[in-house]
Structure 1
Amino acid sequence: MVLLAAIAVGGVTPALAQEKLIMVLDSSGSMAGQIESRAKLDVARSTIRDLLGKVKPTTQLGLIAYGHRRKGDCADIETIYEVGKPDGAAIMAAVNRLNAVGKTPLSTAVRKAAEQLNFTEDKATVILISDGKETCGADPCALGRELKSKGLDFKVHVVGFDIKSDERAGLQCLADETGGQYVPANSAADLGAAIYKTIEVAQAPAAAPEPEPDPVVEPGLRVDVVVSEGGETWKGDIGLKLFGEKQGLDGKREKVADAWRVKSGHIFKNMKDGAFVMEVLLADHRHIKRTVQVDVRGNEAQIVTVNLNIGQVRFDASLAEEGEALKHDLGWWVYGPKEGLAGKRKKIAEFWRVKSGRVFWLPAGTWRVEGAIADAKYLRVVRNELTVQAGGGDAHAFSFNAGTVRFDASLSAEGAAFKGDLGWTILSQQKDLSGNRKKITNFWRAKSGGIFLLPAGEWLIEGVLADHKYVSLSQTISVSPASEAAHSFNFNAATVRFDVTVNGQPTGADLGLTVLGLEKDLAGKQKKITDFWRTRSGAVTVLPAGKFLLKGLLADQKEVKGETTLELNPGDEKPVALDLKNP
């Protein structure tokens, strides 16, 4: 199966308008079957190669594949090419790596495509090319109804590729329920023609707007919802609630009518005369709510127009000014422009784990916007004044001013990568008046080779072996916006094994071991490096390089003790013998 999803973002200014296609390639086991002496997946590859030349220059393209890695796994779905400017070589390299081995979760794939295309806010079309039915228990027919009811303007066109007659019904229903087309293809030539036909439909200019609802000609209250004063009708789902005007002692009003996931133009019938309070909520943008007063005359046909007074914004995020779009998940918070007496601002909206380039609806006005990288919340941006025009659409670029680093850790210069867990703390270079450094963030139980995002600047990195915290280091690094750099950290340490005997004989008793520096301070004391309690002979640990005094005793016979000196070089792996004496 090959699945293509298309969208033309409507109702926005040219700055935001864009067209996107997502191909979802089904590499299920049935795609290994043959048609005209060729594997169906090979036919699909050739078709995609030809299709790339027919995609509009303004179209952004992405690919999702499933069933290509594991047998019997309905969750085997992977984005193999992020939505962006089509790179034919990269796309075909990704497609050529696919193998037809898995199941056919076509409903999950269609849903994933719809969600990636932001189908509740934007016009979206999915083109599904399938050689068989759903094999992961979902109901394509029910999915079609659900997505159609939630979508702003959503369709699924289905190309049935060498489909058996008894497997067509679900795919036909998916297309029918969403207002799409079902097109059969029984050969390689048919497949190319069918895909081209549906691509033409998906990339066709948007149809003229539907006419406004006819005037109310029977008694009732019609609610028309518009984006801005004199602007276009809101096409998404809305929720409506009508309350009595009077409030009870608890401050609440009696609800007299409601409607959920209806469209602009909804009519309330059999209303009584009176004054009411009406709440209008955007079902898929619940931070947008308007409250209006309504005087109802039950025996008349009335129209009330609710102006949402909203506009669209697109938030584009990168690591550097004019840099590439950030692929990480993002969080955005929109606040009022002024602080209250408690020093806090009113939160207008929040969007979590969204991608760069996402389009949002916001109330008209001037707002403070704060952004963060979802998995690196210490990286934030702030825009103190961002203006939203009612009915307008503007793109806003945010630079997180950060770079990507890789931390490679070893126990000696040019030694092998350390395999244990690590801890990293990122501190400012400069100290405050109290002599303290500001902590930027920390990473705990990371591995050597771990990749992190850090703000641009000069930083002090404190590293520690997570299970040997007495082995640590400090090192400064520099990070530039959008840079990618690997940094090596040498912990200057050795691996040792304690081989303990008692009067020359092996022992399995519990031990207490203490590692001390050889040099004494002015008070005649030796610095304790670390100790180990109730350990056993043969225990392996990591110690800093250097010269040390090792003292030991039996945990339950403390009079049985001994000591020895040891010298360790960076990267050493050596046994240390210690014989305890029983007086």
Structure 2
Amino acid sequence: MQFWKKFALGAVAAIGLAMPAVAAERAVIVLDGSGSMWAQIDGKARITIARETLSSVLADLPDDLELGFMTYGHREKGNCGDIEMLVEPAVGTGAAIIAAADGINPKGMTPISDAVRLAAEDLRFTEEKATVILITDGLETCEVDPCKLATELEGQGIDFTTHVLGFGLSDEEGQQVACLAENTGGQYLSAADGAGLVDALTKTVAQVVQAEPEPEPAPAPEPTPVLDHNFAPTASLAEGGPDIEDGGPLNLTWQWYKVNADGTKGEWIGTDYYARFKGTLEPGDYIITAEYDYAIAEQPVTIVAGEVTETHFVLNAAVFKLHPRSSEGAEINTDASIEIRHDGEYVTTQYGDKILVLPAGNLEFDIKIGEAMVTKAYTAKAGETIEEDVIVGTGLAFFTTEYAPGVKVEDDIFMEIFDAKVALDGTRRSIAYGYNGEQDFELPPGDYVMDYKLDGTSGQIPFTVKTGERTDIPVLLDAGVLAVTTPTDDYVEIRSPTKDIAGNVTSFDYGYGPNVQTTLKAGDYVVFSKKDDVESETPVTIKAGERFELTIEAAAPAAGGKKK
């Protein structure tokens, strides 16, 4: 971390020293304190990396920066209102922020939107220029739309900006929070490790510091123009196709690497975002990649001093907009899974209604809703957009369970769905299973059998599912509850009162005292109990929807033998 610490301190200090400051700039850093910050990167907790990053970057701040510190999810679980300003914005707060971060114990929810809103209000964003820097390793979990919030804050603020540092987020997750930055004119920066987080925080803190422009230098003969950038790449999905523009649901990612002696891609140097990215690279040779969702183009690029290199990348990719529906006319199913293969090789699994950019060629999609699945195959051309409703074809089987009419089952009854067809060996294919008194299963149309079991009660119910329809299936157990209390840890077994034709007694359930409870079909039973050499048998009658409580008293064994 020493290299990054020196870099961070130098970068921020240089901003403060090189330009004369105007009125103090005000900002708040919001650090994710939710439970997910205990996840590890290379053996170190994310919260530890975040603390080290703050210690590195904030050790020496410009005198004209008023900086505050807020966190959330650090005091209790399940509370979306667990948000706290730990350090109010003021100059010279670096040490206080570092100390406050050391005391955070991640444990709760991720109320990103409310935290940003409260930070903005604390900065009086409707009256003064204000900046919020959000560091998060997760997505909003408190049912507030961050994109909508950002638009509202931008409209109400005098000059309000949010920068978002996605720590350990995937590209897809980053896209879901990037709008907080984009809708307020800020930047979304991704960090995969501690070095990346130091780099991202350094950039955003430096951007907060503003300065008066330097006075114009005295006129000089034929001054050499200074370029504000020397690399302006563009990209398209297909050769000759239109350039990709910003503003869509996806962003281009640019990465540049050193070139090894053998011409291969070497050490990573930097990353930036957006289709219209313009940057400054040291003159020299690079290998640069353009990534757009799951499409990647790579080529060598040479940066020449005093020149702007405008390199074009062809991604050779297609756009897919597949809308999974359970049946014709049904709403788009946001829980549908989509597994994608390119030329037979697995690419990714996505969920719900997605826009995907994928390499052109032979693509297969397994779209699954519940227990039903369809496979769609495409030969996609570069630059092509394929949009289609995918009808998986499912119906809904909904089960409700009662001991007797009007007496619902609250326990976790086990249900397993089987294909109605019986194989040659007498078995049926298992489709799905679950535990609850009320359960639903999305299934392909056809005939099925549901097996259920609750303690000593079991049975089967055949049913049929039709596409686009809900089938309600009541499960009437015709059963009651038997509760047995024994003196100690007696063995208790529930048996049939009579033997079958083979002379065997049926065992329905068993357990060990002092308390044994089971569910049984209405009817007559024998409760057998045993402790050491003492045995007893007690007849009981179970009624549907009722509870029968039985207490077995302790008894001494009869002389010379067992008591029964």
TM class by shorter-chain length? 0.5 to 0.7
Q: 2:414 aligns to what? A: 423
Asked if 1:477 is matched to 2:463, the reply is: yes
Q: Which amino acid aligns with 1:546?
A: G
In structure 2, do the counterparts of structure 1 residues 218 and 325 end up closer, same or farther at CA, with 3 Å as the change threshold?
Answer: closer
> 1:232-311 residue pairs with structure 2 within 5 A?
232-235=242-245, 236-244=251-259, 246-247=261-262, 253-255=265-267, 258-261=270-273, 263-264=275-276, 266=278, 269-272=281-284, 277-282=287-292, 285=293, 287-294=294-301, 302-311=309-318
SS at match of 1:107: helix
- Deviation per residue, 1:513-556 (Å, 9 max, x gap): 222223324553312222222x13x7543223233232223x24
Asked if 1:403 is matched to 2:395, the reply is: yes
- Distance in structure 2 (CA, Å) of the matches to 1:306 and 1:404: 47
SS at match of 2:161: helix
SS at match of 2:244: coil
In structure 2, do the counterparts of structure 1 residues 479 and 257 end up closer, same or farther at CA, with 3 Å as the change threshold?
Answer: same
Whether contact under 8 Å (1:362, 1:388) holds in the other structure is no
Q: In the alignment, which of 324, 327, 334 is matched to residue 340 of structure 2?
A: 334
- Deviation per residue, 1:235-258 (Å, 9 max, x gap): 33422224426449xxx6434854
- Deviation per residue, 1:466-492 (Å, 9 max, x gap): xx1x31111111122222232111223
SS at match of 2:162: helix
SS at match of 2:420: strand
> 1:203-222 residue pairs with structure 2 within 5 A?
222=232
Asked if 1:432 is matched to 2:423, the reply is: yes
For structure 1, list consecutive stretches of 5 or more residues without a partner in the other structure.
Answer: 1-70, 77-101, 134-138, 158-176, 178-215, 338-344, 501-507
Query: Which protein has the bigger strand share?
Result: 1
Whether contact under 8 Å (2:229, 2:280) holds in the other structure is no
In structure 2, do the counterparts of structure 1 residues 106 and 156 end up closer, same or farther at CA, with 3 Å as the change threshold?
Answer: farther
> 1:37-116 residue pairs with structure 2 within 5 A?
73-74=80-81, 105=114, 107=116
Whether contact under 8 Å (2:113, 2:140) holds in the other structure is no
SS at match of 1:142: strand
- Distance in structure 2 (CA, Å) of the matches to 1:256 and 1:420: 56
Give the TM-score taking structure 2 as reference length.
Answer: 0.57
In structure 2, do the counterparts of structure 1 residues 270 and 527 end up closer, same or farther at CA, with 3 Å as the change threshold?
Answer: closer
Q: 1:524 aligns to what? A: 503
Percent identical among aligned pairs is 14
Offset of 1:319 from its aligned partner? Answer: 0.9
Asked if 1:441 is matched to 2:441, the reply is: no
- Distance in structure 2 (CA, Å) of the matches to 1:104 and 1:392: 36
In structure 2, do the counterparts of structure 1 residues 528 and 476 end up closer, same or farther at CA, with 3 Å as the change threshold?
Answer: same
Asked if 1:514 is matched to 2:505, the reply is: no
For structure 2, list consecutive stretches of 5 or more residues without a partner in the other structure.
Answer: 1-77, 84-110, 121-138, 167-173, 186-207, 209-225, 246-250, 559-564
> 1:451-462 residue pairs with structure 2 within 5 A?
451-462=440-451
SS at match of 1:105: helix
Q: Which amino acid aligns with 1:155?
A: N
Q: In the alignment, which of 512, 517, 521 is matched to residue 544 of structure 1?
A: 521
Whether contact under 8 Å (2:295, 2:316) holds in the other structure is no
Q: 1:211 aligns to what? A: none
- Distance in structure 2 (CA, Å) of the matches to 1:288 and 1:393: 14
Offset of 1:450 from its aligned partner? Answer: 3.1
Q: 1:382 aligns to what? A: 375
Asked if 1:490 is matched to 2:476, the reply is: yes
Offset of 1:317 from its aligned partner? Answer: 1.2
Q: Could you tell which deviates more after superposition, 564-573 or 259-268?
A: 259-268
Offset of 1:429 from its aligned partner? Answer: 0.6
Whether contact under 8 Å (2:337, 2:368) holds in the other structure is yes
- Distance in structure 2 (CA, Å) of the matches to 1:116 and 1:388: 37
Q: Which amino acid aligns with 2:152?
A: L
- Distance in structure 1 (CA, Å) of the matches to 2:365 and 2:416: 28
- Distance in structure 2 (CA, Å) of the matches to 1:130 and 1:218: 27
Give the TM-score taking structure 1 as reference length.
Answer: 0.55
In structure 2, do the counterparts of structure 1 residues 306 and 116 end up closer, same or farther at CA, with 3 Å as the change threshold?
Answer: farther
Q: Which amino acid aligns with 2:520?
A: L
Whether contact under 8 Å (1:313, 1:361) holds in the other structure is yes
Offset of 1:154 from its aligned partner? Answer: 4.3
Q: In the alignment, which of 460, 464, 470 is matched to residue 453 of structure 2?
A: 464
Whether contact under 8 Å (1:550, 1:564) holds in the other structure is yes
Q: 1:347 aligns to what? A: 346
In structure 2, do the counterparts of structure 1 residues 269 and 565 end up closer, same or farther at CA, with 3 Å as the change threshold?
Answer: closer
Offset of 1:443 from its aligned partner? Answer: 0.7
SS at match of 1:128: helix
Offset of 1:369 from its aligned partner? Answer: 0.8
Total equivalences in the alignment: 381
Q: In the alignment, which of 531, 537, 544 is matched to residue 563 of structure 1?
A: 537
Q: 1:371 aligns to what? A: 367
- Deviation per residue, 1:2-43 (Å, 9 max, x gap): xxxxxxxxxxxxxxxxxxxxxxxxxxxxxxxxxxxxxxxxxx
In structure 2, do the counterparts of structure 1 residues 106 and 513 end up closer, same or farther at CA, with 3 Å as the change threshold?
Answer: closer
In structure 2, do the counterparts of structure 1 residues 228 and 402 end up closer, same or farther at CA, with 3 Å as the change threshold?
Answer: same
Offset of 1:371 from its aligned partner? Answer: 2.4
Whether contact under 8 Å (1:408, 1:488) holds in the other structure is yes
In structure 2, do the counterparts of structure 1 residues 227 and 104 end up closer, same or farther at CA, with 3 Å as the change threshold?
Answer: closer
Q: Which amino acid aligns with 1:227?
A: L
Offset of 1:388 from its aligned partner? Answer: 3.3
In structure 2, do the counterparts of structure 1 residues 333 and 298 end up closer, same or farther at CA, with 3 Å as the change threshold?
Answer: farther
SS at match of 1:411: strand
Q: 2:183 aligns to what? A: 155
Whether contact under 8 Å (1:241, 1:257) holds in the other structure is yes
Asked if 1:325 is matched to 2:332, the reply is: yes
- Distance in structure 1 (CA, Å) of the matches to 2:394 and 2:232: 52
Q: Which amino acid aligns with 1:355?
A: G
SS at match of 2:408: coil
In structure 2, do the counterparts of structure 1 residues 103 and 572 end up closer, same or farther at CA, with 3 Å as the change threshold?
Answer: same
